[in-house]
Structure 1
Amino acid sequence: MEVKDNTKKQPRETRLIEALITFAVLIGVMAVGIIHYHVDPHIPMFIGVIIAALMALYIGYDWNTIEKSMMDGIFRALQAIIILAIIGILVGTWIVTGVVPTMIYYGLQILSPSIFLLAALIICSITSIATGTSWGTMGTMGLALMGIALGLGIPAPVAAGAIISGAYFGDKMSPLSDTTNLAPAMAGTDVFTHIKFMMLPTMITYVICMAFFTFMGFKYASSGEAADTSAIQIMSDGLSGSFNINPLLLLPPIIVIVAVACKIPAIPGIVLGILSAAVLGPIFQGSESNLGAMLNAGMSGYESTTGVEAIDNLLTNGGLMNMMFSISLTILAMMFGGIMETTKQLEVIVSQFLKLVKTPRGLVTLTELTCVASNTTMPEQYISIVVPGRMYAKTYKEMGLHPKTLSNALEGSGTVTSALIPWNTCGVYILSVLGVTTAQYAPYAIFNYLMPIMVIALSFTGHCLADADGIRLTRSAQAKKKAKMGEA
């Protein structure tokens, strides 16, 4: 009787030096591409995928395994990819129906020279939440506010700090933001669960920012009463002249917020926001927001022609196709992460870091520091979420922590600290639009550097840690959980 030989050559164990070489090449290509040639991170990321695959072949993995690992990586991010696509449709729809212009218009009305810094913080927060983009907010609202700050006699670095803090708060908390969707995708949870868990540390930090900028504004209040606020008036007039502004148009974002509170899954919750805007649009905007206009804006985005450059730059946005930048980068990053995870190149690196970590608090701290290091060495905000997210996802699970603990840690550092690195794409962009160097505005961008500190601090109290059931690891929350289990 013939015995069939089922033996197959197995890949050997991955050495630390091999994994480090893969990461070193990725970091090098990212640095050269982004810093020197000013290219988008996609092709450097794809080169990283090639290097990871070649290293996997060298270690002994066959091509079928490597290809499957890439597909598995993409599969893990499919929910986030779908949500990103739907959000692109939502942004385009919300602009053409007047929802986003209404949110921005009312945000502008709260401006008062005597509380300029606090108003700048809130205006940029509202704009960033409405659009899901910190860059768009800083390049439009931020630019106008910097001009007003000059007239008020407020130092440019202080004004920039308020603008940046508000823009990144909105970017971090907006369900329309790509980073807000990317972080839970890397961790393995949904966007609404992620936002809800972020609320406590983020709002505490934001309240501190409000107090800080209110205090800072006192010294400029007396000289600011007669300041020229014509730039804000021009923007308000541009919005009201091109759109029918009505408080009822705030209903779609309220519906999405209620959906979050009612624990409706992300995809149907966002779709409700689209449908409600589609109903209200024709009522308030008439033929400018008919079915054809909404379908076109949902696909290709909205092109603003108000005649006000700041408004047109901000509202020329949205659409499924415009979201392809984030979607394609997510796919490439997950291909890289899938190879690194399956071939255990990721594991050997993580294991070295985790030798220093014995507790969940230490793990959160390590995650925050890794995100900062990623923003510094691979200077792109998205990569600082993707790479640490895939590095530590398994470890969070092994420690019995809910994935939202990881997603909160990723956004608490990866999203916001990018603005504090001069050679990061975010730092370079801020310098180009606000005209203030990182060294000048960093002391006043308190939301950005206080946020990771707050996450670490609250992890030690248990408020930024959640067990596998999603219950915070505070004494009171755990006591209630035990009581319910006892009753059961």
Structure 2
Amino acid sequence: MQLSRKPGLVLSLFVLLCCALIVTLGVVDVELESGAHFGLGLPAQVPLLFAAVFAAAVGLSWLRCSWVDLERGICNAIQVSIQAILILVLVGCLVGCWIQSGVVATMIYYGLGVMSPRFFYCASLLISVVVALATGCCWTTTSTVGVALIGISAGLGLPLPVTAGFVISGAYFGDKLSPLSDTTNLAPAVSGSNLFDHVGAMMWTTLPTLLITLVISLFMGSSAQGSDGGRILLIQDMMRAEFSISFWAFIPPLIILVMAFFKVPAIPGIVAGILGGIVLSLANGSSAHDTLMVLFSGYEPAHLGQFAAADTPEAISKMTQAFRSIFLAGSPALSVDPEVFSSIGHLLTQLFTRGGMTSMLETICLIAVALSLGGILEVCGFLDVILEALMRHVRSVFGMVASVLASAFLSNVFLSEQYLSIIVPGRMFRRAFEERSWNGRRLAPTMLSRSLEDSGTMTSVLVPWNTCGVYVSSVLGVATLDYLPYCFMNWLNPLVALAMTWAGVAILWQKDASENESAASAPSLTGQVVGTSL
């Protein structure tokens, strides 16, 4: 596409700031001391739509680009997310059938029996790390063990946003370092490095950040106040009344882990997990109609709602008599405070009322609108102009790395897609990394690929309208801005990368000419770690 006019830096900054202002005023709803409200508190889809309209109007009127080109840019941007949309639909089915079949309830049931509030945050972090490393997918991790850990957290009486933050931290660490991850393969492909050099380079910034996050999880866990044993037993009793709890329920998650081990792509792996949940539901006595209907409309608890409505001793007695085999003699359910009984019923009803294709429609709508804005900004060249202006002022290695980190984060904010936050800055900065030299040396491509992941991958889940932020918040049932402060791994990683670069630690350089001649058979340049003052 040829623009009649190329946007200038002032216009590009103006458009991005206006779009940011439109989205901010539309999404936030802050009550001031005077009683007035700042912001409209709208769903993110609405302000994003108006931001896209504004950016398109500038492109049509000032840059003289045609609507056909803008529409093509929108469609191309949305096309990038087609796989993500398919995964969203399938995850909705997965969550629904896993809840109905008792998979999620079983993991929560046994987790409540072995988890200690003191070490729960640390355990959530490490479990998510292991699963994400094995599967190579933070989305799969959050939608499976993440959902279960959120349920356990609710049962232990721990704050859900904190648990969500440590689950996300572990999931993104594992996703970032797993050779099976799409972004881990995408970043070196864009920057010109190779996969295993890229993973090795990321160790320098990612492992220290994980250790810091691990220490924080232990510190926060040491002061955590969990529920008493009676409350946990009551939660387990209520789940047994609603779901079939058995070790057979661990088979569907095991299917996904096995398929991930054999490097089966995400979509077939999720489908296999859905089929496993369907078979388990049928084996538990559910009808074929109910089992398949859950895939579309999600699961609605049958008995938990009755427990939520039992707010008197007489109602509790009636409930416990109806489920005499579940609420055993001596169970705290027989003498529990009606308010506690009802509140736990409400908690579990909210936790298990989810899933199905329809639960993802709002998320898919948000992705489509956000990527439409990103496509318009890309077609009009606003981001390219800003990135080019940044490069003219880069005078040091620290400035180069800081520019990549900032550009990847801004791409997450304005393009709303993790892949684009790697592709767009990677494409822009690759030439600079290949041409710029400091004291006769050039930075290795792994410095670019590492920086793209330190910011592009890690900060995507922190933006409420980014596809990753939308997905994780919808799956875990915790708002993005609520869990953001506790995603220590995600927002500390770029800061650690900046600090190490400023200190001259783990700077990766290309081999010099003599080394390249002696290693001419090597398929790519391998970065060397050199401490240097900037």
TM-score range, shorter chain: 0.5 to 0.7
Aligned pairs for 1:22-421 (under 5 A) are 22-35=15-28, 36-57=39-60, 58-112=62-116, 115=119, 118=122, 132=143, 142=153, 145=156, 147=157, 163-169=163-169, 172=172, 205-206=209-210, 208-214=212-218, 228-283=228-283, 285-287=284-286, 290-305=287-302, 306=304, 307=307, 308-355=345-392, 365-366=402-403, 368-369=405-406, 383=416, 385=418, 388=421, 391-395=424-428, 406=452, 409-416=455-462
Letter of the structure 2 residue corresponding to residue 303 of structure 1: E
1:37 Cα offset (Å): 1.6
What is the distance in 2 between the residues matched to 1:309 and 1:174? Answer: 34
SS of the aligned residue for 1:13 comes to coil
Letter of the structure 1 residue corresponding to residue 367 of structure 2: T
What is the distance in 2 between the residues matched to 1:140 and 1:40? Answer: 26
Letter of the structure 2 residue corresponding to residue 54 of structure 1: A
What is the distance in 2 between the residues matched to 1:344 and 1:173? Answer: 32
Are 1:140 and 1:310, in contact at CA under 8 Å, matched by a contact in 2? no
Letter of the structure 2 residue corresponding to residue 50 of structure 1: V
What is the distance in 2 between the residues matched to 1:186 and 1:66? Answer: 26
Letter of the structure 2 residue corresponding to residue 413 of structure 1: T
**Counterparts in 2 of 1:87 and 1:433: CA distance versus 1, 3 Å:** closer
What is the distance in 1 between the residues matched to 2:457 and 2:246? Answer: 33
Q: Can you list the C-alpha shifts for 1:24-74, whole angstroms capped at 9, x where unaligned? A: 221111111111221111111111111111111121111111111111111
What is the distance in 1 between the residues matched to 2:354 and 2:424? Answer: 33
Rg: which structure is higher? 2
Letter of the structure 2 residue corresponding to residue 277 of structure 1: G
1:187 Cα offset (Å): 7.6
**Counterparts in 2 of 1:267 and 1:73: CA distance versus 1, 3 Å:** same
SS of the aligned residue for 1:109 comes to helix
Letter of the structure 1 residue corresponding to residue 273 of structure 2: G
1:413 Cα offset (Å): 2.4
8-17 or 45-54: bigger deviation: 8-17
Letter of the structure 1 residue corresponding to residue 492 of structure 2: L
What is the distance in 1 between the residues matched to 2:370 and 2:487? Answer: 29
Letter of the structure 2 residue corresponding to residue 256 of structure 1: I
* 1:14 equivalent in structure 2: 7
TM-score where L is the length of structure 2: 0.63
**Counterparts in 2 of 1:25 and 1:264: CA distance versus 1, 3 Å:** same
Q: Larger % of helix: which?
A: 1
SS of the aligned residue for 2:250 comes to helix
Are 1:70 and 1:339, in contact at CA under 8 Å, matched by a contact in 2? yes
**Counterparts in 2 of 1:83 and 1:106: CA distance versus 1, 3 Å:** same
Q: Can you list the C-alpha shifts for 1:169-192, whole angstroms capped at 9, x where unaligned? A: 3664799xxxxx998999899xxx
1:164 Cα offset (Å): 4.8
TM-score where L is the length of structure 1: 0.68
Letter of the structure 2 residue corresponding to residue 286 of structure 1: G
What is the distance in 2 between the residues matched to 1:337 and 1:216? Answer: 38
* 1:156 equivalent in structure 2: none
Question: Would you say how many aligned residue pairs link Structure 1 and Structure 2?
Answer: 424
Identity %: 26
Q: Note if 1:450 corresponds to 2:492.
A: yes
**Counterparts in 2 of 1:386 and 1:137: CA distance versus 1, 3 Å:** farther
What is the distance in 1 between the residues matched to 2:396 and 2:255? Answer: 39
What is the distance in 2 between the residues matched to 1:359 and 1:213? Answer: 35
Are 1:30 and 1:41, in contact at CA under 8 Å, matched by a contact in 2? yes
Letter of the structure 2 residue corresponding to residue 392 of structure 1: P
Are 1:76 and 1:185, in contact at CA under 8 Å, matched by a contact in 2? no
CA RMSD of aligned residues (A): 5.1
**Counterparts in 2 of 1:263 and 1:346: CA distance versus 1, 3 Å:** same
227-236 or 65-74: bigger deviation: 227-236
Structure 1: any 5+ residue segments left out of the alignment? Answer: 1-7, 149-158, 176-180, 419-423, 468-472
